[in-house]
Amino acid sequence: MLKRFLLGAAPLLLAGFMTATPAAAQEGSGLVAKAAHEVRTMEDDPQMRGLLAHARGVVLVPEYGHGAFIIGGKGGEGVLLVRERSGRWSNPAFFGLGGVSFGFQAGGNVGEVAYVLMSPAAVRRFVDGNNFSLGAGAGLDVVTYHNGEHINLTGQDVVAWSNTTGLYGGADVGATDIAYDGRLTSDFYGTRDLDIRQALDGQVRNTDADRLRASLP
């Protein structure tokens, strides 16, 4: 009886395992599609378009959320791409950004955020680091930029860009608890226990990433 039950249930169990991976992969594909749209938004600003053209890497966070009044969680899921020696952009790898924000925060806030990595040190921080922060004490020069501003962006390690809206208007775009998301990266490429370097070096491929790579200058 048990044998007949297991034989009958096997196709259903197998189907469950087979559908789990595509569903998980769709999460990453959706994020990559939103990231490509974010690049187009950034390039509406000529200064940001020029910055991207000389960037060594970029972290795109299409939906960066802030919490509620006074003390609120903030964070989102982002994709990292680095410029290869050939000048082309790498495959994306996924990162989670979390932490706690202190200050006057009336109401929630969600918008697009990007960290444009202008130096090898900034790229190494993401590729080699885990559970680190961008901000004071990070050992990197980080400057915040909003579209249309006239500020000196040369000599910076990281240029933080945001189109978030609200009472603090994207002024707080630092991030804490930045960590490589191996689960989402592995699901996106359909490979278990994928190392970040395997993803960035092109050892795996997902054609859904091609549009994002092509959108970057």
> Tens digit of pLDDT for each residue in 133-182?
876 566 788 888 877 777 777 788 999 888 765 544 444 556 778 899 99
Strands (E), the chain: 57-66, 71-82, 93-98, 100-102, 109-117, 132-134, 142-145, 158-162, 175-180
Instruction: Kindly report the backbone phi and psi dihedral angles of residue 48, in degrees, each rounded to the nearest multiple of 5, phi listed first.
Output: -70, -35
pLDDT at 22: 65
The predicted structure's pLDDT at residue 23: 62
The share of the chain scoring above pLDDT 70, in percent, equals 71
Q: Three-class SS of residue 4? A: helix
Mean pLDDT across the chain, nearest whole number?
Answer: 78
Domain boundaries, the chain: 26-215
Confidence of residue 193 (pLDDT cuts 50, 70, 90): very high
SS (H, E, C) 73-129: EEEEEEEEEEECCCCCECCCEEEEEECEEECCCCCCEEEEEEEEECCHHHHHHHHHC
What average pLDDT does range 110-127 have in this prediction? 90
Q: Report the predicted TM-score, pTM, of the whole model to 2 decimal places.
A: 0.81
